[in-house]
Structure 1
Amino acid sequence: MMIILDTNVISELSKPIAHPNVVQWFDHQDENNLYITSISITEIYVGLYRLPDGKRKQTLLSDWDRMLNDLFKDKILEFHSSYAPFCAKFLSEREKMGLPLKDIADAQILGIAHAHQATIATRNTKDFAHGGVVLVNPFGVD
């Protein structure tokens, strides 16, 4: 079973003291089933580059680069243009339901998950609701 880690799960796992539910959930997963998306990689880099310049920022960037190479080498899923119609339909259907999304990134992650028949591990299950993929909340609360 392929599981795509959403940005909030990756970010949580990067913390010095991560949420215990997320750590426990992660420790019980088969590492071979865990993937990330190019979308989440971009979101993580944006957050890191927004930090003030200094040693902490450089350390976090180095740690992130190491995590990408050590844990996710060959396990990064890209957004393909063929996923765009699915994403656009999802976004417009959410708007019609009165549940618009703030940005396109979650729809793109959903499109990747849908194309790969993958589960999404996320804290924000409501953002992916009605998207036709299995969702799991490692934080343990919805």
Structure 2
Amino acid sequence: MEKIPAKLHRAGTRRSYAHKEGGGRTPVTVISAARRPERNDKLAIWLYAQREDDLFLSVISIGEIARGTRQQEKPNPDFAADLRDWLNRTETLFQDRILPFTSRDAQIWGVLSADIGHAGADLMIAATALSHQATVVTRNVADFEPTGADVLNPF
């Protein structure tokens, strides 16, 4: 079993795409923000400037969106249906660029979770980013900083 890098013993997280500078990957937590009609101009400019092949989506983000969709089924079924359709289209768009959550990622997540003191999905995204040497793209920088993952806020 590989040794977990020392920088992982620092302690946070959020939902994600992925963008890797110079051929790298970046789990980006901005995927949901990108679908909103009132999309942030800075985010739109940043996304437009990226090469499609450099953007990745975390499988954890897919789960978070599916959870949100399910939670909307009773109070807002039309919105839930729209969200489900959007998620299906997004998965198709990213089909070859979805970062899995591997056993290595799980080991890193375990260390982060123990050190930081919670077990949230954001830590899984951070673990995936650390494992794949990726940069998390998110508005929620503060939650990711304690993880040691590279973080970019395009907002």
So what's the TM-score if we normalise by structure 2?
Answer: 0.76
How much has 1:85 moved relative to structure 2?
A: 2.6
- Mapped partners of 1:15, 1:33: distance in 2: 22
Structure 1 residue 133 corresponds to structure 2 residue 149? yes
- Identity value in percent: 32
RMSD, aligned α-carbons? 1.6
How many aligned residue pairs are there? 130
Inter-partner Cα distance in structure 2 for 1:127 and 1:31: 26
Structure 1: how far apart are the matches of 2:79 and 2:144?
Answer: 33
1:90 is matched with which residue? 112
Deviates further, 121-130 or 35-44: 121-130
Q: 1:54 & 1:110 partners in 2: Cα distance? A: 32
Answer 1 or 2: higher relative contact order, Cα 8 Å, separation at least 6.
Answer: 2
Matched, 1:123 2:139: yes
Q: Secondary structure at the match of 1:4?
A: coil
Aligned to 1:69: 92
- What's the CA shift for 1:81? 1.9
Amino acid at match of 1:124: N
* Structure 2 spans left out of the alignment, 5+ residues: 1-23
Name the SS of the counterpart of 2:136 in structure 1: strand
Displaced runs of 4 or more, over 6 A: none
Residue equivalent to 2:27: 4
| Unpaired segments ≥5 residues, structure 1 | 96-100
Q: Which residue of 2 aligns with 1:13?
A: 34
Which digits, 9 at most, give the CA deviation of each residue in 1:49-93, with x for residues without a partner?
2113533321221122112212x0111111112222322222232
Question: Which region of structure 1 is more displaced relative to structure 2, 17-26 or 85-94?
Answer: 85-94
1:54 corresponds to 2:70? no
